[in-house]
Structure 1
Amino acid sequence: MRRALAFELALFALPSGGALLLWLGGLAPAWSIPLASVPALGRHIFRLVDLSGLIRRQHRLAPPFPHGLWGEVYRNIARYQQRGRKGRKRQIRFTRRFREAANAVPDALVILDKHHRIDWANPAAAQLLDVHWPDQDGQHFLDVFSHPDLGDFLQDGEYLRPLDIAPVHNRALMVSLRIAPFGERRRQRLVVGRDITKVYHLNMIRRDFVANASHELRTPLTVIGGFVENLLDAPNTPEAHRRPLTLMHNQAERMRSIIEDLLTLSRLEMHDSPADQHSIDVPEELRLILQEAQAIGDDNHRLDPLIDTGLLLLGSQPELCSAFSNLVFNAIKHTPAGTRIRIHWYQDKDGAAFVVEDDGPGIAPEHLPRLTERFYRIDAARSRQSGGTGLGLAIVKHVLNRHDASLNISSELGQGTTFACHFPATRALRRDDPIPHVDTTPPPASPHRSANGEG
């Protein structure tokens, strides 16, 4: 840089010397200075015109470069061009790898612009979604892949749960659609379609088997339980027979409880949302649940309620009461005597929350992800002693899913456990608020549930 500046100063000295000679030769200063500056000015104009032409033609600048500051300008532009070429090569390599990877993915991938028009799709989209790219480039996604439920799902912007549908072009398929916003202001959409035909049919077989088997078992169990109960109440029953009859009665009741829970799960799986929804007085329901909980705990647990008496909830009263009572009774059954149990019902910025927190022994981290699975027990022997079926938390999760809510479980060994149910703001009501209209028409037995077996 110093050498270039020195070169420019030397060039500046030449016009100055020329102007001095012209002045000494008798030419007026007003003419001598401009005449002496013409060569330097011409050099700068030539370099500007040359550089402008090279840039306009996107010409690659390469040595030799001119001397002086103009050489520095040419050299810096050449470096910038080189960095740009390297960046474009990296981008081309990345794009090629992305397309190769996307083409190898068995799931359908479709990119939509902010107007939900097709920007790109991989080959699997042709088979699963009937989207052929680039033939259908620029067409609206709903014009290419139509379904009655897809329009609302695409517009709502709530993509936490997938939409399972049978495509019009191939009814034998069952496709699970997930949509993820991305891009500038998250206005573009990535549609991912996965073939879940086998999983869906297995899930249907499992659900039908559980429902049918439960129905078939309930009748003989009722008959057996009735006869056993009559024998226990009969005065002529020998004392030696009373203990085995009591055990038989307890086990029959336990099996009946399991069957009732299985039937409850089957009913919850039939539809995505409750048919009968209205305003629920949650504080009053919790008061009744706590009264029953005190009877179950024999006053050996310390219940600490903190309830917002003005906060109501929109939903199904039997389902939500079942979920809330399951969480409270579980805290009593699976913690030692003297445990403090806090029951909170409050409103926050996201909606409403129901929290059951205890200071019991806690749950090991490896058990937490599986707690809501059917029949999963941390300690099977202890669960049998407490009368647990292993289905309570599975029912809670299904009920919350049907009410657009979520269940968060946190625990540390020796520090207690917290079960938190979070409901959206659209379902939280104040006691004096008007009740919104809810369509109570039962939805059809839908293939649009998630194929995830646990909801």
Structure 2
Amino acid sequence: MGQAVLLDLSLLLAPLSLGLLLLDLGANPLWVWPWVVAAPLLRHLYLLTRLAVLIWRQRRLAPPFPLGLWGEIYRGIARYQQRGRKGRKRLLRFSRRFREAANAVPDALVILDKHHRIEWANPAAASLLNIHWPADDGRRLTSILSQPEILPFIEVGEYARPLDIAPEHNPAIMLSLRIAPFGERKKQRLMVARDITKIYHLNMIRRDFVANASHELRTPLTVIAGFIENLLDAPNTPAAHRRPLTLMRNQTERMRSIIEDLLTLSRLEMGDGLDAQEAVDVADELHLILQEAQALSQGQHRFTTQIEDDLLLWGCPAELRSAFSNLIFNAVKHTPPGTQIEITWGRSTEGIELSVSDTGPGIAPEHLPRLTERFYRVDRARSRESGGTGLGLAIVKHVINRHEGRLMITSKLGQGSRFACLFPGHRARLRDAQHASAAPAEHLSIN
């Protein structure tokens, strides 16, 4: 840079020196001084005009470059042009590799703008979703996928759970849709559709088997339990037989409890929607469940409650009672004597919430993700002693999901556990505004 400055100064002083020499030789100052001043200005104007034309025509700046500072400017712009070309080539390579990878993905990938219009789709979207790109570029997604649940799924923004649909163009397949917001201000949407037909059919076969097997086992168990009761009640039954008969009766009751829970779980999984919904008096249900829990505890646990009596919940009474009773009874069965159990029902920042907390031994972190799996037990021996079936939390999770809610489980070893059922605010009702046949539109809005 210093050499360029010196060179520019020498180029500026050269006309000046020549002008002084001409003046010494007797030249006319009227034409000498304008030439001395105009010479460097004309050079700068020429180089500036040349640079502007090259940039306007998007020409590549190449050597030889001018002398002095203008040469440094030309070289600097040339370096930026070279970096830009390398960046564009790198971007083109990345874009080509991304398209190749997206085209190789067996799942359908669709990019939507903020108005739910199609911006891009990979080839798999044609067979799975009947979306052909670029032919369908700019079309609204709902004009191709006309299922009524599609638009609420996109607009509500609760993308934690996938949406399972059977596309109209091919009802023989089952798709699982997931949506992820991205882009500036998260306005765009990336929709991923996966073919889960085999998994769906396997689940249906499993559900049918469990339901049918449980139903068929109920009758023989009832007969066996009846005969065992008769033998225990008979006065001439030998005393030596009473202990094995008692054990048989207890195990029969345990099997019957497992079958009833399996049938309940099968009904929840096979049900498409909630039937016979009404404003459920959760406070009244909790008081009844609490009386049963106190009888089950036999005074060995301490119960505290924080219940909003005027807050009702729109839903299925039988399912909600089953879920809430499972949570409260689990707190009694799986905590030692002296444990404090707290039951709260009321408004929360996310809507409305029912929580069951205890001061028991807590649950290790590695068990928390699997607690809602059917037949999963943290302590198998203790669960058998307490009569647990391993299906209670699976039933709770299905009931909460069917009511658009979420089950949150937190626990620390030695400090206790907390099970919270979070429901959206639009399912809330107020007691004083509730009528015997309230319409679903009459609700309490909770933000």
Q: TM-score, normalised by structure 2?
A: 0.89
Secondary structure (helix, strand or coil) at the match of 1:418 reads strand
1:328 is displaced (CA, Å) by 1.4
Deviates more, 1:201-210 or 1:283-292: 283-292
In the alignment, what sits opposite 1:39? 39
Instruction: Give CA deviations for 1:138-164 in whole Å, capped at 9, x if unaligned.
Output: 333333444343344334433332222
Secondary structure (helix, strand or coil) at the match of 2:224 reads helix
CA distance, structure 2, for counterparts of residue 390 and residue 349 of structure 1: 31
Q: CA 1:309–1:32 in structure 2 vs 1: closer, same or farther (change >3 Å)?
A: farther
Q: CA 1:281–1:145 in structure 2 vs 1: closer, same or farther (change >3 Å)?
A: closer
CA distance, structure 2, for counterparts of residue 181 and residue 129 of structure 1: 19
CA distance, structure 1, for counterparts of residue 17 and residue 348 of structure 2: 83
Number of equivalenced pairs: 438
1:59 is displaced (CA, Å) by 1.2
The answer as to whether partners of 1:345 and 1:353 remain within 8 angstroms in 2 is: yes
Secondary structure (helix, strand or coil) at the match of 2:341 reads strand
Asked if 1:190 is matched to 2:194, the reply is no
Deviates more, 1:17-26 or 1:299-308: 17-26
Secondary structure (helix, strand or coil) at the match of 1:82 reads helix
| Pairing partner for 1:438 from 433, 437, 440 | 440
Asked if 1:271 is matched to 2:285, the reply is no
Q: CA 1:324–1:8 in structure 2 vs 1: closer, same or farther (change >3 Å)?
A: same
Instruction: Give CA deviations for 1:371-407 in whole Å, capped at 9, x if unaligned.
Output: 1111111222221110111110000000110111111
In the alignment, what sits opposite 2:422? 422
Identity fraction in percent: 66
Q: CA 1:5–1:434 in structure 2 vs 1: closer, same or farther (change >3 Å)?
A: farther
Q: CA 1:50–1:387 in structure 2 vs 1: closer, same or farther (change >3 Å)?
A: same
CA distance, structure 1, for counterparts of residue 404 and residue 384 of structure 2: 32
CA distance, structure 1, for counterparts of residue 9 and residue 304 of structure 2: 87
Deviates more, 1:388-397 or 1:351-360: 351-360
1:20 is displaced (CA, Å) by 6.5
The aligned amino acid for 1:90 is R
Deviates more, 1:226-235 or 1:8-17: 8-17
The answer as to whether partners of 1:300 and 1:337 remain within 8 angstroms in 2 is: yes
Secondary structure (helix, strand or coil) at the match of 1:126 reads helix
In the alignment, what sits opposite 1:166? 166
The aligned amino acid for 1:253 is E
In the alignment, what sits opposite 1:397? 397
The aligned amino acid for 2:223 is V
In the alignment, what sits opposite 2:300? 300
The aligned amino acid for 1:249 is R
Q: CA 1:27–1:421 in structure 2 vs 1: closer, same or farther (change >3 Å)?
A: farther
Instruction: Give CA deviations for 1:98-134 in whole Å, capped at 9, x if unaligned.
Output: 1222122111112223333332222222222222333
In the alignment, what sits opposite 1:288? 288
1:272 is displaced (CA, Å) by 4.3
CA distance, structure 1, for counterparts of residue 235 and residue 325 of structure 2: 37
Q: CA 1:60–1:432 in structure 2 vs 1: closer, same or farther (change >3 Å)?
A: farther
The aligned amino acid for 1:324 is F
The aligned amino acid for 1:437 is A
Q: CA 1:32–1:355 in structure 2 vs 1: closer, same or farther (change >3 Å)?
A: farther
Deviates more, 1:389-398 or 1:274-283: 274-283
The answer as to whether partners of 1:107 and 1:192 remain within 8 angstroms in 2 is: yes
Q: Counterparts in 2 of 1:181-330, with a 5 A limit?
A: 181-330=181-330
1:28 is displaced (CA, Å) by 7.5
In the alignment, what sits opposite 2:112? 112
Secondary structure (helix, strand or coil) at the match of 2:47 reads helix
CA distance, structure 1, for counterparts of residue 390 and residue 270 of structure 2: 21
CA distance, structure 2, for counterparts of residue 139 and residue 74 of structure 1: 47
Unmatched segments (≥5 aa) in structure 1: 440-455
CA distance, structure 1, for counterparts of residue 225 and residue 122 of structure 2: 60
Deviates more, 1:14-23 or 1:388-397: 14-23
Root-mean-square deviation over aligned CA pairs = 2.6
1:321 is displaced (CA, Å) by 2.0
In the alignment, what sits opposite 1:129? 129
Q: CA 1:278–1:300 in structure 2 vs 1: closer, same or farther (change >3 Å)?
A: same
Q: CA 1:344–1:147 in structure 2 vs 1: closer, same or farther (change >3 Å)?
A: closer
1:33 is displaced (CA, Å) by 5.4
1:261 is displaced (CA, Å) by 0.9
In the alignment, what sits opposite 1:91? 91
Unmatched segments (≥5 aa) in structure 2: 442-447
The answer as to whether partners of 1:176 and 1:193 remain within 8 angstroms in 2 is: yes
In the alignment, what sits opposite 2:9? 9
Q: CA 1:46–1:251 in structure 2 vs 1: closer, same or farther (change >3 Å)?
A: same
In the alignment, what sits opposite 2:368? 368
The aligned amino acid for 1:438 is P
In the alignment, what sits opposite 1:139? 139
The aligned amino acid for 1:392 is G
In the alignment, what sits opposite 1:379? 379
Instruction: Give CA deviations for 1:1-52 in whole Å, capped at 9, x if unaligned.
Output: 22223333344445655776788869678x8755432112211211121111
CA distance, structure 2, for counterparts of residue 15 and residue 399 of structure 1: 93
Deviates more, 1:173-182 or 1:392-401: 173-182
In the alignment, what sits opposite 1:66? 66
The answer as to whether partners of 1:273 and 1:403 remain within 8 angstroms in 2 is: no
Q: CA 1:63–1:433 in structure 2 vs 1: closer, same or farther (change >3 Å)?
A: farther
Q: CA 1:336–1:57 in structure 2 vs 1: closer, same or farther (change >3 Å)?
A: same
CA distance, structure 2, for counterparts of residue 300 and residue 275 of structure 1: 38
Deviates more, 1:238-247 or 1:389-398: 238-247
In the alignment, what sits opposite 1:75? 75
Q: TM-score, normalised by structure 1?
A: 0.87
The aligned amino acid for 2:216 is E
Q: CA 1:28–1:276 in structure 2 vs 1: closer, same or farther (change >3 Å)?
A: farther
1:438 is displaced (CA, Å) by 2.5
Q: CA 1:422–1:21 in structure 2 vs 1: closer, same or farther (change >3 Å)?
A: farther
Instruction: Give CA deviations for 1:224-253 in whole Å, capped at 9, x if unaligned.
Output: 323332333344444333323322222222
CA distance, structure 1, for counterparts of residue 343 and residue 210 of structure 2: 33
The answer as to whether partners of 1:15 and 1:33 remain within 8 angstroms in 2 is: no
CA distance, structure 1, for counterparts of residue 382 and residue 414 of structure 2: 18
1:93 is displaced (CA, Å) by 1.7
The aligned amino acid for 1:277 is Q
CA distance, structure 2, for counterparts of residue 191 and residue 314 of structure 1: 31
